[in-house]
Amino acid sequence: MLDINVSAREQVTLIEVRGRVDSANADQLGEALTREIESGHTQIVLDLAGVEYMSSAGLREIVSALKRAKRGPEAGDVRIAQPSYRVREVLEMAGLDTVLQIFPTQMEAVGSY
């Protein structure tokens, strides 16, 4: 099971994830993201500080969510906070460091909106 905590920081939705994200549980991450975007909360910060491992299944959910958030009427986005070195390496391998905004701290990610 993934531990996913959703909270509001003014207009920004903060989603904090803990655990290992693989193809067995990535859909939980996808559902949490979809729920927020469909309720109109499209300015999202995904805090990955507690994620020690992520496979391409996690990236798939993040990219799907990013596409959906950007499609909405208000300028939505999914921004990443505090990825570990390993998760960052996986994001970079897929070139997501060029299409996602990645921040070293949660405060900077939330403040970027």
Count other Cβ atoms within 10 Å, centred on residue 1.
8
Quick check: 53 binds another protein (CB under 8 A)? yes
Quick check: 63 binds another protein (CB under 8 A)? yes
Longest Cα–Cα distance in the chain: 34
Sheet strands side by side (includes 77-81): 3-9, 12-21, 43-54, 77-81, 102-103
Question: Cα(20)–Cα(38) distance, rounded to whole angstroms?
Answer: 25
Q: Which is nearer to another protein, 20 or 35 (CB)?
A: 20
Q: Which is nearer to another protein, 97 or 108 (CB)?
A: 97
Q: Which is nearer to another protein, 1 or 10 (CB)?
A: 1
Q: Cα angle vertex 77, ends 94, 46, to 5°?
A: 70
Stretch that binds another protein, among 6-14, 42-50, 59-67, 104-112 (CB under 8 A): 59-67
Chain positions contacting another protein, by CB under 8 A = 20, 22-24, 53, 55-57, 59-61, 63-64, 66-67, 70, 86, 89-90, 92-95, 98-99
